[in-house]
Structure 1
Amino acid sequence: MEVFPVFTGEYLFDSCSPVQMLLTQETVTSVRHQHDFVELAYVVQGEGIHLAGEDKMQVMQGDLLVIPPGVSHVFQPQDLTGAEPFLIFNCMLRPELGRILGGLPEPFAEEEMFPLLKLLEVKQWFGYRGKSMELALLLRRMHEMQSCGSLRDNQQQLYPLLFELADLIMPAAALPFAQQSGMDYDPLHDVILYMISHFREKITLKEMSRQIAVSSRQFQRLFKVKTGRSYIQMLQEIRMKYSCLLLMFTELGVQSIALEVGIYDMKYFYRLFREYSGMTPASYRNRLQSHFLSAKEMMSSAEHCSH
């Protein structure tokens, strides 16, 4: 069973808020990962592929995917060149949100909280495909609250929006996520998704060309035309992205990280990493840790000032 990096709430969440909103632009080499929190991923713009566990589906603007802790997933834009933006709005919910709700000085009615509590307990991914703008408006309001600082400072305004959001999407948890008809599908997506999921292994160009039933030479030409880079360039980019995440979210040594991503020549690994990031692995990790600690100190100071 493949194990993918875990994005941790400790790194991603503001300590004052049980909710974090983040807008991301997905790329062909986006990292397959897991979380230790619930993520609601809403497609703001574009079309693409979503891989969740062993399930693969085509998604488009207006779709929302609910990803529980421990389920690996990744988005990939439909356009393999990256010319057409594929934007995802991430609404991340802390696992302890249910406990926080129960400890509020003025508790909400149980029937109001129930859909949100059930959402926090989901074990399998599910999708919601809404036809109205209601979902987008709710997420936009929450994002605006975070942007102006009130998401952290006034939780009483946030919780009713979360209750409304959960009430809207939870009925979809019991339904299959219907594939959108009329969307094109390029078999090279399967090749790249395989690379993203099996980058630790020795996956050769010849093996990949067999997946789409063409010769190695045809595969190389097709790959370069459709993605703008060679097969080897993309494979090494995927490996470097995972290396960065392992430096960020684990305490593994550099040699262990190189082995984790399928590179056994340390000189080659250091060269690739410097070309990709502009610095050594140690410098990259130190820079991240310094930034993380500074952010924590700033939040801590803000909390003390507010008391």
Structure 2
Amino acid sequence: MVQGEGSHLAGANKMQVMQGDLLVIPPGVSHVFHPQDMTGTEPLLIFNCMLRPELGRILRELPGPFSEEEMLPLLKLLEVKQWFGYREKNVELALLLRRMHEMQSCGSLRDQQQLYPLLFELANLIMPAAAIPFAQQSGMDYDPLHDVILYMISNFREKITLKEMSRQIAVSSRQFQRLFKIKTGKSYLQMLQEIRMKYSCLLLMFTELGIQSIALEVGIYDMKYFYRLFREYSGMTPASYRNRLQSHFLSAKEMMSSAEHCSH
């Protein structure tokens, strides 16, 4: 976590998180974050560091100067099956991740061995925490509406009604609507549709699904309604959004290719 406080749902486990926390999430474990501030004025900012599945094989085949003892914590990290968390004590984690980010940003990393010692250091730092239950942050007031929003994020494909959600925190539908609006600045329906539109954008960005399939995937069965919601959210049609992303991606790819060519 780079900034802010919030909630994290990993599988069946819910926890409070804060700046300086690192969570290791193995492939296949579903998880969602939600900021403590529900209005969006104090966001929860997160850095992601993804390790490729083939990294273990690459490490074992390295002809370089690294010993098996140096590589062992990282190899163990790659084999982790359950999520775990590491809570920073000073700024040791931030400094290490900043060094990794700077190294990756300043060059093409053709010599991957420059990054391996930092990965070994990271794994050596956090792996002892794998055997310790992640501590809940003390002193943070928890609002039951966070449970509602986490549920919405996890189940937005389904038909989840306001009445059903109000039951979760044991209040009337009218009181639920009022509390939701006060705490988030949005109505329940506005929040639900915003979650659906954000996921629609991800599907347009990272999949080749057709527009109708995407609408169904996010739980909207009326295509006219889906187009209207998407235009209100993004300012353009789904097709225009996808085309713009693809053109930006191609331009970035061409620039990287040109830079690589010039460096030879």
* Fold shared, TM-score > 0.5 on shorter chain: yes
1:18-72 deviation per Cα after TM superposition (whole angstroms, max 9, x unaligned): xxxxxxxxxxxxxxxxxxxxxxxxx122211011112110011221101111212
TM-score by length of 2: 0.93
| Change beyond 3 A, Cα 1:87–1:305 | same
SS in 1 for 2:37: coil
In structure 2, distance between residues paired with 1:252 and 1:86: 29
Contact residue 126 and residue 172 of structure 1 kept, 8 A: yes
**Residues 1:225 and 1:70: Cα distance change in structure 2 (over 3 Å):** same
8 A Cα contact 1:53 1:73, kept in partner:
yes
CA contact (8 A) 1:62 1:130 kept: yes
Give SS of 1:301's match.
Answer: helix
1:132 deviation in Å?
2.9
8 Å Cα contact 2:231/2:237 also seen in 1: yes
Unaligned ranges ≥5, structure 2: none
After TM superposition, give the deviation of residue 306 of structure 1 in Å. 4.1
* CA RMSD in angstroms, aligned pairs only: 1.8
Contact 1:243 1:261 in 2 (8 A): yes
Instruction: Point out where structure 1 has 5 or more consecutive residues left out of the alignment.
Output: 1-42
Q: How does the TM-score come out when normalised to structure 1?
A: 0.80
1:147 to 2:105 alignment: yes
Provide the rounded CA distance (Å) in 2 between the counterparts of 1:301 and 1:123: 40
Once the 2 structures are TM-superposed, how far is the Cα of residue 195 of structure 1 from its aligned partner? Answer: 0.7
- Higher strand proportion (structure 1 or 2): 1
1:241-273 per-position Cα deviation (integer Å, ceiling 9, x unaligned): 111111122221111111111111110100111
Which residue, out of 111, 123, 129, partners 2:87?
Answer: 129
- Give the helix-richer structure, 1 or 2: 2
- Please give the secondary structure, in 2, of the residue aligned with 1:89: coil
Name the SS for the 2:2 alignment partner.
strand
CA shift for structure 1 position 164 = 0.7
CA distance in 1 between counterparts of 2:102 and 2:156 reads: 38
Displaced runs of 4 or more, over 6 A: none
Distance 1:91 1:152, change over 3 A: farther
Q: Report how many residues are paired.
A: 264
Distance in 2 (CA, whole Å) between partners of 1:215 and 1:288 is 43
| 8 Å Cα contact 2:32-2:154 kept in structure 1 | no
Deviation at 1:103, TM superposition (A): 4.0
1:113–1:163: 8 Å Cα contact kept in structure 2?
Answer: yes
Whole-angstrom CA distance in 1 between matches of 2:258 and 2:28: 33
CA distance in 1, matches of 2:42, 2:221: 36
- Inter-CA distance 250–98: structure 2 relative to 1 (3 Å threshold): same
Does the CA-based 8 Å contact 1:146-1:152 persist in structure 2? no
